[in-house]
Amino acid sequence: MEIPVPSVMKQKPAWLRELFPWEQKTLRVNGRNMAYLDEGSRGARPVLLLHGNPTWGFLYRDFLDPLVKAGYRAVVPDWIGSGYSDHPRVDAALTLAHHIADLVSLIDQLDLRGFVIVGQDWGGPQGVGAALQRLDRLAALVLMNTWLYTDYVGKFHQSPLPWTTWHAPLIGQLLMKRFKVLSHAGPSAITRRGMTDAQKRGYHHVFDEPDSDHVVLTWPRTIPLREGDRGWADMTMIQRRLPELARTPTLLLWAPEDAVFPIEYANRLKELMPHAEGPILFERASHFLQDDRGPDLVAAIIPFLNSAAGNRV
């Protein structure tokens, strides 16, 4: 298979290069540009590092060098609508099914074989959803503060504030798009370790352009809470097919202080995937545990991958 030659993304701002020095690349996926990092030997096992809302590849900056030094290939996409990927202004272009199809396209175009999915938040269902379309190429899974099912709904997703307020037709648009309560105050608002101004800006600047953050509102509105909701059929399909992953080495890493996906979500995943190792708990971390405890997380991931799959394909 001929591997496409990716073009290089526009130059990152100078202030970001010290925090995020890796070369941003891009491929066309389903008619849109998906930005990604691709570090390490092409012959090494690919590890797909998948973020959620409202972050981008910057979330995994502590993972790249350790994985590459351990002999792995780190591939870090920005989901369409986020980071340095295209930011469609059409809500219907940012569904769960679209994100899954976009990742399948990236996997196919880069001809990734024996790959590992590392997913948190939306990186879980979108990553596993894509992996289920390419099971013959999947080597292992690492899941962190995420979910893959419709039969458990925690307190956060039933709460009037902030959850149902975000979904309100008028006030949700006002909060998310005018005041940018998530895109400009997500990771920095709940950090456990604290962030410098530059780190806060690193997360938020990709949504500085007006009307560039449709995905930040679409993702919450795509979480299926009842039959008929957007994303219900896709998530039901993922849950139904989880038994097909019974022979796939799986590791659960969890921040129990996360209000969005607390430990009950890990317990339900463990029931559905009893072969999974863990959950290994990481205190002093919240929803964005990769930022709070990045070096510790990757230090747990590498031995698991060495044992479960090895760093060569």
pLDDT tens-digit series, residues 30-48? 999 999 999 999 999 999 9
Say if 1 falls within a structural domain: no
Give the pLDDT of residue 167.
Answer: 64
**What six digits make up the tokens of 147?**
């979910």
CA distances from 157 to 104, 152, 172, 266, 270 (A): 28, 10, 15, 16, 20
Residue 30 placed within a domain: yes
Flag whether 89 is in a domain.
yes
Query: Looking at the domain assignment, is residue 77 inside a domain?
Result: yes
Q: Could you give the number of structural domains in the chain?
A: 1
What residues make up the domain containing 135? 7-308
**244 in a structural domain:** yes
- pLDDT 10s digits, 228-276: 999 999 999 999 999 999 999 999 999 999 999 999 999 999 999 999 9
Please report, as a single letter, which amino acid is at residue 243: P
In a domain, 194, yes or no: yes
d(CA 172, CA 169): 6
pLDDT digits (tens, 9 = 90+) for 53-82: 999 999 999 999 999 999 999 999 999 999
Q: Is residue 2 part of a domain?
A: no
pLDDT of residue 158: 83
pTM as predicted: 0.95
The CATH number assigned to the domain holding 289 equals: 3.40.50.1820
Residue type, 94: L
- What type of residue sits at position 223? I
Is 313 inside a domain boundary? no
Q: Which residues of 109-127 are buried (b: 16+ CB within 10 A; e: fewer)?
A: bbebebbbbbbbbbbbbbb
